[in-house]
Every structure is written in structure tokens, then in C-alpha cells.
Structure 1
Amino acid sequence: MDTRLFEAAQRGNIDYLQRLLTENPLILNITLLSAENPLNIAADMGHVDFVKEIIKLKPVFAKEVNQEGFSPTHIAAANGHVEIVKELMKVDIKLCRLEGRQKMTPLHYAAIKGRAEVISAMLSDCPDCIEDETDRKENALHLAVKNNRFEAIKILGDWIKDMNKEYLLNMKDEQGNTVLHLASWKKQREVLEMLLGSGTVSSGSLEVNAINHSGLTALDMVLIFPSEAGDREIVEILRSAGATRARDIIQSTISNNQTSTDNTSTPERCLSNGNNLIEYFKFKKGRDSPSEARSTLLVIAVLVATATFQVGVNPPGGVWQDTNIPDHTNSTSSSNAHFGGQSIMATTNKVGFMLFVFFNSVGFSMSLYMIYVLTSEFPLQFELQICLLAMYGTYGTALPCIAPSSLNLPVLLTTTILSSTTSALAQVARPLTTMLKKFFKDFTHRVV
């Protein structure tokens, strides 16, 4: 675009524009080859009169979308220039539904920015634009709730009620979330009161127990992602509207299915119910809190470390309480020779004892490694690492002491070298395991 034309649009100087057109009547045609047009600049700066002049000269500019996916209407709506939006919609009433990048319309940007007057103007001239969705299946109300734009939410909610389009409240985005899910997740008590408590929405038109793709209801969103304040009031609002947790709905469905059929339950039905419960309790990224998952893993790692340490220093079968060194005249077999404090299993079943030492040491070292990783950003990190090293040293010292002299070296190597490299070996083996799982899965599908 000619820099002089850019300057005229930026200042909103109509006289300067007329002089440029006198000098070069084709100056606006040249801009068709440019990435921008003067109408975008004027719409961004809010120059209403300049916008009117450009529309009169080149109305086609109003329908152009630039490389960033913005038309003049997108830009004016996002900036809240309601008069410019009205002028542009005089060119074509459907400009408020013009799709840009990711199928975003001007109404979507107005909702994101909370431009209440722009939203009212667009809905007055083109009510159907409220149904438009982005490529993520988000409508304007989804976007307003996600961005905490309460005034925009109120206007959109009132229009939805007045136009009898309350089904839009139950529309789901690509994650299966309704506006009720989003408002609960964002802890927007005012929005929930507007939707459920003040009569804005007709009774029974809102699905308060809709389940998203993560298997959660709106009530689950509050309880699984707690905050410091306001949760109790939100839970009361939802429960008073009949909201329940997804697990209660599943259990109710299972109970209803069982009572509506014969008392004899088939294996197929039990398997189906079991799979539902397994899927529900699996960890799902985006639904379950990472901090809760870390806490759970830390508890498991501590339990494994405690169990493996305890069974390591107190091996199966216990230890000999006496010392027995048979001589040549003693009829006792030399294989029963032992010293007090040595493992009974180590002297009677050396192979079994070594397998026990190996697997127990792997579990112990991996649990300590998990504790180290999960507490890596904790305070007193140096002191915590000393504790872990001391525990590992104690374990590595205790096991060779309870083993016979013939097994001292194998036990020492197992507890120090092999088990200490388990974490590194696991990182190498993880992608190999994933590849094998994929191979067997593909192979199974082909066979079936």
C-alpha cells in the first residue's frame, strides 16, 4: 500500500485521501496487490468518517480478509468500534459471519474482548450469527465464558432466551464442554447464578449433568479442580439445580440396567461395567490435576521404598539364629554350614535368593529415583538427597552382610551397579516398549 494512503487512513484525513485520488485515481486499485487495505487501518484506528468514505469508493474492501485472518469487521469488533461495525454491516449484513483464521467471526472476537455494544449491534441485524462456531466448535458464549467477560455473557444469554435458542447453552466444544462446564471450571459464580438461579434460562432447558469427553460433569469440574474460595457457594448452586457427579450417574445407570433385566448377570454385562469403571478411574490428561497425580505417585513410591527396604533386610524365611560349621566327623551336610545372622534362604536356595535380591533391589532403587524426581523442586533439597543416599547405602550394606561369603560379590554387584542403573535402563526401554505395544496392537487388528 502507498505510504501516503496508509498515512491518510491512520489519521482519518479525508481531504488528504481526496488529494491522493486526484493525483492518482487508481491508487485504491493498487492496494489490491497489498497485504493490507486502508479500510483495515481506519477500522483499527476508529475513524468512522474515513471508513464511510472508503466504503463508498471501494465497498469490496469490507469483505477482504488479510493474511492474519482479519477483515475490517473483525478489527472493528475486537476494538469495540460499534459505529464502524454498523457501517460495515450496511455493505453486507452477513459480514458479522465472515470467517477468518480458525473460522473465527467478528462476533467471536467481540465476545473474547467483551464488546457488549458490538455484540448487541450484530445480533440486532443478524441474529443467526450467534450460532456460528470456530474450528474448535466454540460458539460466542463459550468464548465469552472462557475469557471471563460477564457483560458479554449476560447479553448473549438474554439474546439466546429471547430468540428461543436455549439449545445453544448445551452445545459442546471439541472437548465436550458446555458453558456450564466452563463456568464451573473458571469458578464464575455470577455466571452460574445467571444460568441456574435467576430465571434467565427456562427451567429444564439446561443440561446440568452433561458429561464432557473426559467423563466429567460441571459439578466434577468444581470438585476436581478446587480453589481457595467460592467453591462451596458454587457447589450449592449446582446441587440446587440437580447437578451430580459423573460417577453417581454411572452407578445409577448400572443399577437401573441391573434392575430392569433378569437377576442373572451375564459375563458380557459384567465385563462392560468393569471396563466403564476402569476407563473412568484412569488418569486423563486435562481432567485430573497434575499436583494430585504427583502426590499420589509420591505416596506410592514411599510405600514401595518402605516395603522393599523392609523385606530386603528381613528376607523371606528369616535369618539363622545360630552358627553351624560342620567338621569332617559331623554327619551334617556341608551345604548346611551357616553363621548366625545369615539369610536362611541364601544358604538353602542360592538361585532363588539371587532372584529375590535382584527384583527387590530394582523396586527399591526405582522407588528412590521416583522420590528424587517428584521432590526435585522441594526445599531442603540437599538434606533430602543425603537422606536418600543414606537409605540406599544402608540397603546396599545390609544385603551383603546377610548373604553367605560365596554370594557376597554377586549381591554387592546387584545392589550397587545393576540396580543403580535401572532408572537409565528404564528410559532406554520406554520407547522400545511403546514400539512393541504398537506392533502387537497392529498385529492384533490385522489378525482380527
Structure 2
Amino acid sequence: MANLEQLFQEACQKNDVEGVKSLNSKHPNLLDEIIKACQRSEDPLLITACLPGSLEAAKEMARLWPQLASIKNQRGETTMHLLSTDGDARMVRIFGENNRELCLEVDNSLMIPLHRAALEGDSDVIRALVSICPESLEKLTSNGETALHLAVKKSRSDAFQALVDEAKSHRKEHLFTWKDKEGNTVLHLATLNKLKQIVELLIRENSNRRIMIRINTVNKQGQTALQLCNANSQDSVFKEIGWIIQRAVAQQSPQLPDAGSANVSWNQTRWPIETRNVLLMVVVTIAAAFFTVTCNLPDSFLKEDTLADCLAVKTLHADKDDVLSKLPTVVYVMIFNSAGFLTSMFAILLLVWPLRFRTFVLFLVICTAIVYILLVDEIMPKFDVKVGKSSISSNGLVWSLALALILFGMSVLSMGKFTLSFWRFIICLRRNRTNRRGNNLEDLLEITAT
């Protein structure tokens, strides 16, 4: 059998596809003999046979004997582990596409092939493995480490960038908050290893809401990433990283904007988490109040003479100047109530958007808004308001005026803030001008005295 095994290896190493097929057809028990040889060997025969340049032979082997790739050596490594360590992305794709479960096989250290690729820093292999099996990003080693932890520990910047890209594309942003057995996140490890580039990358991506990190997370020693920098403040690199993190902490936000970034995402909140929670509670209460008012509208609004006339004739004729004066009270109530309700819904979305469960909240807000619209349609009397040749339904009038009221209110508040800032600027200019005149007068008196 030794000669047969040798012939098999030579055929694979020479990329002799026909030789592999011939051996398989001539020796029905070839697979059993190869499996026994793999179990005796330190490395699986499949990897020793498929050296670089034997791509076609490897494809044929994967087709004929897919079970060979699952055989482990004494260290618990499969062919996929060894391919990932060697950085052979093409072979990884071949075997992974035939059997994706190979990407989740663990060795004696509970490492999967992606962990090996992260340690070696091969970004092509990382992308190949994740594209085949995205859930491998969440697998942990015996020390509770993800592939992200391993790439940072080994200072593999290219591998870490590839893992960041794959985590974003597969919506696994939460991985950046995971801790190893020492309680360290990737931000802790990047700080400890003085990897300024990775720290900047984490903060920049987090500021754009592409990933999620918590800068104030403590490890098992009770230290945050910033405290690690402060403890090593004599080191210039630690000092630079500390400045980066300190500027991020100053934002008092769950997301950490990059210090050199001029653009901030529109949904970035500048409030501390406690303030945002209080605001969210207040806004939800106000929205519930508006909704309750709509559900329990007083019957007195439905008994007005103007409303009765509207219901009778179905059309309310009015001039441009007195159209609002002829509307029933229920219309005004629904305009202001709808404006307040819609503004509250928008505020809720703005406050919860940076959080992980924003999709769930968005669904609830949409459902609540639909129910509210149906209630308004049910409560509002059905009539048309005709001004000249133009006419609009009662529901259309309510929603149009509610939106106009929201825009008008926001514009007034924005202009008020702008006017206040402009007025402060004018006062500052006048104060500087007065001080300059005073200084000139003092200089003139000194010259005259001289």
C-alpha cells in the first residue's frame, strides 16, 4: 500500500487529474487506505498531496472523496485549518464550497479555520471563509476570543480591516462589544498593543454607526481603555491613543465620532445616555397623551351647529380670508393633535435610532401611526372645503395643516436660535469695538501728557 499511497501523492502533486481518476478506478479500496494513512500521519494526506499548483487535482479529490477534508490530525486540525494557516484562499474556497461545515470544525484549542487565518493575517482567506460561512465570525476559542480579538492580539491590521468589513456586510456589528475571558474588548486589546491605527478605525466606524463599541466598558481588572492609557501615560503612543479616546468620551454619546472627522451622522445624539432615556420617556408619554385624546374625543365636538351644517350639505363654502373661521372645532383639535403626535413619533425614532433595536421600534411606530390615521379618518366629519374653484376634503385639510404647522414651528424655533446667536455676535462685536476705542483714548492721553 505504501507504493499505492506514494503514487497517489505524486499524481496530486503533479496536478495529474487523470492519474487520480485512474487510481480511483483501478483500486476500489483506495479511499479506505487513504483514510487509514491520514489517521496515522501527523498531517492529513489531503493537504500534503495538494501543494500549490495542484488546483485541478484538489478539485477532483474534493469531488471524489469529500470526507477526506474532515479527517483530523493529532492536533485536531482538518485540511481547512492547514489551508487557512498556509494562506491558500483558492483551495479554501474549493473545499468550503463542497462542504461549508468544514469552516466550523474546531481543533484541540477550539479554533476554527477563521481563527487561524486571523492569527496569520491573511485577509483573502478571511474573506473566503466568511463568504462561505458568515456565522464563523461569532465562534469563540477556548479563551472566549473571536477572530477580531485574535487579529488585534497579533497586531494583524490588514486582517482586522478585513474582519471589520465582513462584520459590517453581514450585520454583525455587535461583535465589537464582546469580551474575552479577561473581559477585554477589541478596543481594550488595541489599546494594550498600542495599535493607534486600529483604535482610530474603531472610533471612526462607530461614529458612522457602521459598528458598535462601548468606550466605557471595563475589563475584569475594572479598567476602561482610557484608564489603560492613563496608567501608561509616560509612553508617547499610549498618550496619543488616550487623546483620541478622551475626545471621543467628551462627546458623551454611545457612538464615538472621530476627532478629525468634519461630518457627523444626522442621527448622532450628543446627549448622555441618562438624558436620552429621560427624553425618550417624556416623548413616549406625550405621544400616548395625543393618542388618548384622539380615542376619547369629547362628544361635544360632534354636536356643533357648524359641524351639523357641514354634514348636511357636505361642502363648506368660504372665502380665502374666513375659511378657517368657518371650520368646526373638531378640525382644529385634530390639526394640533396630529401635529403633536407626528412630531412625537419622529422624536422617538431620532432618540432610538443609534440603538440596536431600532428596527423593532420603527415597526411599532409605523403600526401606531397607521392606527392613528385610521382613527382620524373615522372621527373626522366628511365634507369638502371649497375656496373659489379649489376644494379639499376635510381629511386632506387636517393633514396638510398639521404638516404645515410642524414645518412652521420648527422654522420659528430654528430662526429663534439663529437670531439669538446672531444677536450675541453683534453684542460681542460692539463690546470689542468699545474696548478698542477705550484703548485708543488711553494711548492718546499718554501721548498728550508726554
- Pairwise mapping of residues 345-360 of structure 1 onto structure 2 (< 5 A)? none
| Amino acid corresponding to residue 162 of structure 1 in structure 2 | S
Return the match for 2:27 from 24, 29, 34: 24
Q: What per-residue deviation string (whole Å, max 9, x for no partner) do you get for residues 40-80 of structure 1?
A: 22455463212111112211112222212211111111222
Offset at 1:225?
4.4
Equivalent AA in structure 2 for residue 197 of structure 1 = R
Q: 2:238 aligns with which of 221, 226, 231?
A: 231
CA distance in 1, matches of 2:59, 2:166: 29
Cα distance between partner residues in 1 of 2:61 and 2:234: 51
Q: Does the 8 Å CA contact 2:123/2:159 hold for their aligned counterparts?
A: yes
CA distance in 1, matches of 2:208, 2:54: 39
Q: 2:137 aligns with which of 130, 138, 154?
A: 130
1:144 Cα offset (Å) = 0.7
Helix, strand or coil for the counterpart of 1:215?
coil
Deviation at 1:138, TM superposition (A): 0.4
Structure 2 unmatched ranges of 5 or more? 252-450
Structure 2 residue 10 is the aligned partner of structure 1 residue 3: no
Distance 1:56 1:100 in 2: 24
Task: Give the Cα–Cα distance (whole angstroms) in 2 for the partners of residues 113 and 98 of structure 1.
Answer: 18
Q: Residues 12, 200 of structure 1: CA spacing in aligned structure 2 closer, same or farther, 3 A cutoff?
A: farther
Separation in 1 of the partners of 2:211 and 2:26? 66
Offset from partner CA, 1:399-439 (integer Å, 9 cap, x none): xxxxxxxxxxxxxxxxxxxxxxxxxxxxxxxxxxxxxxxxx
Q: Quick one: which of 182, 187, 205 aligns to 2:189?
A: 182
**C-alpha distance in structure 2 between counterparts of 1:218 and 1:43, whole Å:** 45
Answer yes or no: is the 8 Å Cα contact 1:208–1:243 preserved in 2. no
Q: 1:47 aligns with which of 27, 32, 54?
A: 54
Shift of 1:38: 3.0
* Shift in alpha-carbon separation, 1:189–1:28, aligned structure 2, 3 A: same
Which stretch shifts more, 46-55 or 83-92? 46-55
Matched, 1:14 2:14: no
Q: Which residue of 2 aligns with 1:208?
A: 215
Matches within 5 A, 1:214-253: 214-225=221-232, 228-242=235-249
Q: Secondary structure at the match of 2:74?
A: coil
Question: Residues of 2 paired with 1:200 and 1:62: CA distance?
Answer: 42
Contact 1:44/1:79 (CA < 8 Å) preserved in 2? no
Tell me: CA distance 1:106–1:6, structure 2 relative to 1, closer, same or farther (3 Å).
Answer: same
Letter matched to residue 24 of structure 1? H
1:369-422 Cα offsets, whole Å, 9 max, x none, are: xxxxxxxxxxxxxxxxxxxxxxxxxxxxxxxxxxxxxxxxxxxxxxxxxxxxxx
* Structure 2 residue aligned with 1:153: 160
- Choose the corresponding residue for 1:106, options 113, 117, 129: 113
**1:386-425 paired onto structure 2 within 5 Å:** none
What is the Cα deviation at residue 224 of structure 1?
Answer: 2.9
Task: State which of 38, 44, 65 in structure 1 corresponds to 2:72.
Answer: 65
Compared CA separation, residues 27 and 203, structure 1 to 2 (3 A): closer
- Relative to the length of structure 1, the TM-score reads 0.50
Do the aligned partners of 1:112 and 1:144 also contact (CA within 8 Å) in 2? yes
Contact 1:219/1:243, CA 8 A, preserved across alignment = no
**Cα distance between partner residues in 2 of 1:236 and 1:203:** 22
Aligned-residue CA RMSD (Å): 2.7
Pairing 1:269-280 to 2, within 5 Å after superposition: none
**CA 243–27 in structure 1, closer or farther in 2 if over 3 Å, else same:** farther
In 2: Cα distance, 1:243 partner to 1:162 partner: 29
How big is the shift at 1:162?
3.0
3-state SS of the aligned residue for 1:142? helix
After superposition, the C-alpha distances for 1:3-44 in whole angstroms (9 at most, x for unaligned) are 333344444443543454455342332121223443222455
User: What one-letter code is carried by the residue in structure 2 that aligns with 1:237?
Assistant: I
> Number of matched residues?
245
In structure 2, C-alpha distance between the alignment counterparts of 1:27 and 1:111, rounded to whole Å:
36
Distance change >3 Å, CA 231–CA 58, structure 1 → 2 = same
1:142 corresponds to which residue?
149
